[in-house]
Chains A and B, each alone.
Chain A
Amino acid sequence: MATEALGDERPALFLRKATGLVRGWNVRDSLIYAVLSTNFVTLGLFTFTYAGPSFPTGQLLTSVVISAILVSFLVVAYTGLITTIPRAGGDYVWQTRILGGGIGFVFAVTGWWFILWLWAPIYGNILAIQFFEPLWATLGSPSGAAWFGTNNGIFVVSLVTIVLAGILVSIGMAGYARIQKYCIYGGLIGFAVIVVLLLINSHADFIASFNQEAQKIFGVNHAYEATNAAAVKAGFTAPSLGFGPLGATLLLVPNMMFFILWPNWGASLYGEIRGASDFKRVFRGMFFGLWITTALVVIFFLLMAKTFGWAFYQNANAAFFNGTFPIPVWPYPFMFAGWLVHNAAFQVILILVMSLWFFGWVGTLFLSSTRVIFAAAFDRVLPDRAAEVSEKRKVPLYSLILMLLPAVGLSAIYAYSTTFRTYTLDATLVIAVTYLFSAIAVVLLPVIKKDLWRASPASKVKLFGVPIVPVSGLITIGLLGFCLIAWLVNDNYFVNNPSSLIFMGAMYVLAIVLYVVARVVRRRQGIDLSLVNKEIPVE
């Protein structure tokens, strides 16, 4: 039997050649996942449009940096969970194992399945405003572009997104993961081109180009001045780029969670942990992904301030937010950057290249839902059929129905109800609750699962003798607790109105009802679901 020794001078352990002893995966792969998940183009730009006008005196740049610092502790907490219980299934597995089957089911299905029904039209909306609208406009059909912003347009593009995500679930991650790599590289090249454009052009160049192209494409005269005037008319006064005041800036942090809370989205670990080095590897993938996103945002903001003018960028967002933006499409900064080159072909190519940030990301919409549905079906909480895969095409037909049909329904509500559209942050809130319970799990882990914790590489990572993973869990609880309180008490996030709360509450009620019904039905069938996670005594 072939063996391998691990250690420097004297081996710390010997491994014999056996199934599953894989080498550590490339950190670059998990880093790409993290960068795409905390997608500063699709989610970030969307966030900035609404966040700035909601808290006009807050500083976007400072709030992004503060958010990234705080989310870094979430990364440490999740690294602890991943390296202690390195299994696919993530939050569902950790919460069921540490906190119990019912809690795990309720918070996993709400955060990783139900709320993704709402993410479908949000993804659709982003596809409309960052791809179809600018593309149609640049190709010479501004009225066609404006259609994508109508109720019908948003609904149709949401359906396109759902079909696209459904196809990706059907074909699996294998092909899509390769596409993801090409997308991130292409997207970064596109961003680099934009950086160069913004660096070599002056503020005066931008004003001239903006006015010229806005007139040419949309027939809007003096669009730059009109945008600033529209924001002022709406009562918005753009703050200059700076670092305070801290209070209003902190209130932007719950907004920023919409894009920056997801460095752990693709963080699954397979195979068997070898030692503390894996803690570093898992951590680095998520941490550097998070901070690459943060760096890209900082670069973007500074270039906006230099070339667009910081006030103009915020005025454009505020005018759009208040429905007074003179240009009839979403203020897509990268389309405006493309206007610095007076060539339609170049502008189209730039939009297409920057859309790679969307197409590299859209596959994440439903892929995790399948895992949770399958896991719940294997635990007999959902009907067995939910985990069935068609023989010929290997399509998880029933789980697709469970994901896609409600998503279509919610897309219709989102498209045709402008009020419902303002509940966008519900999508973040429900997942934040799921994360909150995982953070609670990581804090309780050393108490509830002493042996597991003691044997984990995570327990060895200490600062001044204090294990940093549970401490990071506590800080994460603080961050998510702060966000939850802010979302629920402050009207400016648009999530605390009665219908929004009923919408979210209904998801938790549905999850609880499903679990209780499953327990009752299975008991009648002679199957005791309480046995699923009950530990067999050792002695």
Chain B
Amino acid sequence: MRVFFATDIHGSEICWRKFLNAASFYKADAVILGGDVTGKVMVPITEHNGYWQVVLAGETVRLDTREELADAEKQIRNRGSYPAVMSPDELTELSKEEGAVDRRFSVEMIASLDRWLDMADGKLKGGAIPCLLNGGNDDIWEIDDVIDASPCVTFGEGRLIDLGGFHLVSMGWTNPTPWDTFREAPEEELAAKIEAVANLVPDMGRAIFNFHAPPYGSGLDEAPALDANLRPMHGGAVMRPVGSTAVADAIVRHQPMLSVHGHIHESRGIKKMGRTLAINPGSVYGDGVLQGALLELDPKKGKVSKYLLVNG
């Protein structure tokens, strides 16, 4: 069985489209997206009399036709941002009113995800190709229901899913980050959440842990060291392990066949932890490249027989 795993596409539409095409491109039997589906940036496009205006990569651009507008929106979406068309007054209000930006962000995120799931229906042959999606620590709660309602995509959080005889369990929570994001919990709480899903697995020899946070100190969790003001220290050259000790302990204790992670984009890599093959394919969603892991699972032997990190 061939599985394609990617993660942390953060609203990049080009990466989502590639993800949907990955099954046919890599001849994969199932595709998994590990979390952090939603974007971090919203780009306002102001509507004026007969034209629109937007700032792209620091440059103010005037859009005179609907085609130019569509092209700019596409460019923004491909980089993982949300284009938000509004009047200049609306933009002024948005900046002033408490909570207005958050609300608009949520609207754009949900609308975008809805559109994405509509695209999935056609690409995944109406669910014939198993596709699993999960939230990550950066994803708002509202996306869970949207994904869960999709007919062709399975929402993974906290569930045991049979994947061609392999047991897949997922958890999008991470250990605390400096950004105080949505699905964060202290290590003890995280350990309890992990135990809750691990206890669902009947046979660890055929288990796949799809945990957003990478194991601490595994080399899959190296992020730039930051100072108190969230500035990379020493020109960004110093890396520091920032993964979860609870995830590391769970892998060492339960020894699943495979453990797939994301969260730390810079830390693309592979680590053998006892019997477990742990992988973080990393993410460069902003470049429009879908990094992923191609995994060949041997149903007879219950092991990962081949693996390859790809930059699709």
A interface list, Cβ under 8 A from B: 1-3, 5, 7, 10-26, 29-30, 32-33, 84-88, 96-97, 172-174, 177-178, 180-181, 266-273, 275-277, 285, 374, 378-380, 384, 387-389, 394, 451-452, 454-457, 459-460, 525-529, 531-539
Question: A233 → chain B, closest Cβ, in Å?
Answer: 48
Name the B residues within 8 Å of A13 (CB-CB): 41-44, 55, 81
Are A25 and B41 also in contact (CB < 8 A) when A10-B95, A19-B181, A270-B224 are?
Answer: no
Name the B residues within 8 Å of A88 (CB-CB): 266
Decide if B126 is an interface residue (CB 8 Å cutoff). no
- Of A22, A374, A526, A531, the contact of B310 (CB 8 Å cutoff): A531
Interface centre among A452, A460, A536 (most CB of B within 10 A): A536
Question: A442 → chain B, closest Cβ, in Å?
Answer: 15
Whether B25 contacts A537 by the Cβ 8 Å rule is yes
Name the A residues within 8 Å of B58 (CB-CB): 12, 275-277, 457, 460
Whether B102 contacts A1 by the Cβ 8 Å rule is yes
Decide if B75 is an interface residue (CB 8 Å cutoff). yes
CA distance A508 to B266 in the complex (A): 29
CA distance A363 to B312 in the complex (A): 34
Name the interface residues of B232-254: CB closer than 8 Å to any CB of A: 232-240
- Of A267, A270, A275, A536, the contact of B266 (CB 8 Å cutoff): A270
Could you mark each residue 205-237 of chain B with 1 if its beta carbon is under 8 Å from any beta carbon of chain A, else 0? 000000000000101000111100111111111
Are A271 and B268 also in contact (CB < 8 A) when A13-B42, A22-B224, A85-B287 are?
Answer: no
Question: A471 → chain B, closest Cβ, in Å?
Answer: 18
Name the A residues within 8 Å of B232 (CB-CB): 22, 25, 270-271
Whether A5 contacts B95 by the Cβ 8 Å rule is yes
CA distance A80 to B102 in the complex (A): 33
Name the A residues within 8 Å of B265 (CB-CB): 20
Question: A361 → chain B, closest Cβ, in Å?
Answer: 14
What are 22 inter-chain pairs, A to B, with CB distance below 8 A? A1-B102, A1-B105, A7-B55, A10-B44, A16-B41, A22-B230, A23-B229, A29-B235, A33-B237, A86-B286, A97-B311, A172-B238, A173-B234, A268-B237, A270-B232, A273-B286, A275-B57, A285-B235, A378-B268, A452-B288, A535-B18, A537-B18
Are A378 and B101 also in contact (CB < 8 A) when A14-B41, A21-B179 are?
Answer: no
Name the B residues within 8 Å of A378 (CB-CB): 268-270, 309
Could you mark each residue 268-312 of chain B with 1 if its beta carbon is under 8 Å from any beta carbon of chain A, else 0? 111010000000000010111110001010000000011011111
Name the B residues within 8 Å of A536 (CB-CB): 18, 21-22, 25-26, 290, 312
Total B residues in contact with A, Cβ cutoff 8 Å: 81
Whether B235 contacts A17 by the Cβ 8 Å rule is no
- Of B92, B105, B140, B234, the contact of A10 (CB 8 Å cutoff): B92
Could you mark each residue 65-100 of chain B with 1 if its beta carbon is under 8 Å from any beta carbon of chain A, else 0? 000000000010011010000001001101100000
Are A384 and B306 also in contact (CB < 8 A) when A460-B58, A536-B21 are?
Answer: no
Whether B22 contacts A12 by the Cβ 8 Å rule is no
CA distance A10 to B56 in the complex (A): 14
Question: A262 → chain B, closest Cβ, in Å?
Answer: 14
Are A532 and B269 also in contact (CB < 8 A) when A7-B55, A25-B232 are?
Answer: no
CA distance A343 to B306 in the complex (A): 68
With A1-B140, A285-B235, A455-B56 known, 11 other A-B pairs at CB within 8 A are A17-B179, A19-B177, A21-B230, A29-B234, A33-B237, A88-B266, A177-B233, A276-B59, A455-B288, A528-B308, A534-B312
CA distance A459 to B78 in the complex (A): 17
Whether A173 contacts B237 by the Cβ 8 Å rule is yes
CA distance A455 to B59 in the complex (A): 11
CA distance A539 to B41 in the complex (A): 24
Name the A residues within 8 Å of B224 (CB-CB): 22, 270-271
Q: How many A-B residue pairs have CB under 8 A?
A: 221
Question: A392 → chain B, closest Cβ, in Å?
Answer: 11
Could you mark each residue 256-269 of chain B with 1 if its beta carbon is under 8 Å from any beta carbon of chain A, else 0? 00000001011011
Name the A residues within 8 Å of B237 (CB-CB): 29, 33, 173, 177, 266, 268
Name the A residues within 8 Å of B40 (CB-CB): 15-16, 18, 21, 272
Question: A168 → chain B, closest Cβ, in Å?
Answer: 12
Question: B89 → chain A, closest Cβ, in Å?
Answer: 11
Whether B17 contacts A538 by the Cβ 8 Å rule is yes
Interface centre among A2, A87, A273 (most CB of B within 10 A): A87
Question: A215 → chain B, closest Cβ, in Å?
Answer: 46
Question: A370 → chain B, closest Cβ, in Å?
Answer: 11
CA distance A88 to B232 in the complex (A): 13
CA distance A97 to B309 in the complex (A): 14
Question: B215 → chain A, closest Cβ, in Å?
Answer: 12
Whether A30 contacts B288 by the Cβ 8 Å rule is no
CA distance A12 to B240 in the complex (A): 32
Whether A527 contacts B179 by the Cβ 8 Å rule is no
Are A10 and B217 also in contact (CB < 8 A) when A1-B105, A23-B231, A29-B233 are?
Answer: no
Name the A residues within 8 Å of B10 (CB-CB): 18
Beta-carbon nearest neighbor of A178 in chain B: B234
Whether B140 contacts A460 by the Cβ 8 Å rule is no
Whether A266 contacts B235 by the Cβ 8 Å rule is yes
Whether A531 contacts B308 by the Cβ 8 Å rule is yes
- Of A19, A25, A525, the contact of B236 (CB 8 Å cutoff): A25
CA distance A460 to B59 in the complex (A): 7
CA distance A441 to B74 in the complex (A): 26
Name the B residues within 8 Å of A268 (CB-CB): 235-237
Name the B residues within 8 Å of A394 (CB-CB): 217
CA distance A22 to B40 in the complex (A): 12
Question: B109 → chain A, closest Cβ, in Å?
Answer: 9
CA distance A534 to B18 in the complex (A): 12
Name the B residues within 8 Å of A17 (CB-CB): 179-181
Name the A residues within 8 Å of B79 (CB-CB): 455
Name the B residues within 8 Å of A15 (CB-CB): 40-41
Decide if B138 is an interface residue (CB 8 Å cutoff). yes
Whether A25 contacts B46 by the Cβ 8 Å rule is no
CA distance A1 to B46 in the complex (A): 23
Are A14 and B238 also in contact (CB < 8 A) when A457-B58, A533-B311 are?
Answer: no
The 7 A-B pairs of least Cβ separation, nearest first, read A276-B58, A12-B55, A29-B235, A177-B234, A536-B312, A30-B235, A536-B18
Name the interface residues of B177-218: CB closer than 8 Å to any CB of A: 177, 179-182, 217
Name the B residues within 8 Å of A174 (CB-CB): 225, 238-240
CA distance A459 to B59 in the complex (A): 10
Whether B181 contacts A18 by the Cβ 8 Å rule is yes
CA distance A534 to B290 in the complex (A): 10
Whether B14 contacts A538 by the Cβ 8 Å rule is yes
Whether A173 contacts B238 by the Cβ 8 Å rule is yes
Whether A272 contacts B286 by the Cβ 8 Å rule is yes
Decide if B134 is an interface residue (CB 8 Å cutoff). no
Whether B59 contacts A97 by the Cβ 8 Å rule is no
Whether B311 contacts A452 by the Cβ 8 Å rule is no
CA distance A12 to B54 in the complex (A): 7
Whether A532 contacts B310 by the Cβ 8 Å rule is yes
Are A24 and B233 also in contact (CB < 8 A) when A18-B181, A273-B286, A455-B79 are?
Answer: no
